[in-house]
Amino acid sequence: MREARPMTPAGRRIVAAAEELFYHRGITAVGVDLIAEHSGVTKRTLYNRFGSKDHLVAAYLMERDQRWRALVRAAVDACDSPVEAVTAPFTALRTWSETNTRGCAFINALAEIPDPAHPAHAVAAAQKHWLRDLFEELATAAHRPDPATLATRLLVLHEGALATQPLLPGTLSASTDLARALVRAG
């Protein structure tokens, strides 16, 4: 990944256009010409700022990841008890899904970019590892037995809810209820 520099207004426009296009059309279906056109910059500006489409995809995913983590942390902070906090990512997912109707950008990216050496693959994989680690941290704080196993189960349940949400809207509520039952059962 290129060294991080402060994001210029043009850079922010590029990432915003890339996010809209990559999320709704797919990463491999969108070229830099279209991103430059939608962001109102030249291809030269895009390449000067990001170096390559691969690095732009990584930047797009990092921006989404920052927003997702902030939403999850706010949901955790709003909980009244450590036990309730363990399932806060499911609450965040409900809010997130209201405006992100094409499933998970990170799962979509991993499906389109299977090469672990690709900079965007690393960002998407790190997001999933972060969520699993957060579940374990929250389960530990709630004094749940075997927090590592519970964290893995909650991650699988969370990702399943996320993947099926566009097809079966009721799965998020059912998955949240199941997650709460898993946490209570400890």
| CATH assignment of the domain containing 69 | 1.10.357.10
Cβ neighbourhood burial of 143 (10 Å; 0-12, 13-18, 19+): exposed
How many domains is the chain partitioned into structurally? 1
Residues 97-116 have pLDDT tens digits of: 888 878 899 999 999 999 99
> Looking at this protein, which amino acid is placed at residue 172?
L
Q: What is the pLDDT of residue 5?
A: 63
Q: What is the pLDDT of residue 100?
A: 82
Q: Decide if 134 contacts 72 (C-beta within 8 A).
A: yes
pLDDT at 1 over 70: no
Tell me which residue range forms the domain holding 116. 2-185
Percentage with pLDDT > 70 across the chain: 97
Residues 133-144 have pLDDT tens digits of: 999 999 999 999
Residues 33-53 have pLDDT tens digits of: 999 999 999 999 999 999 999
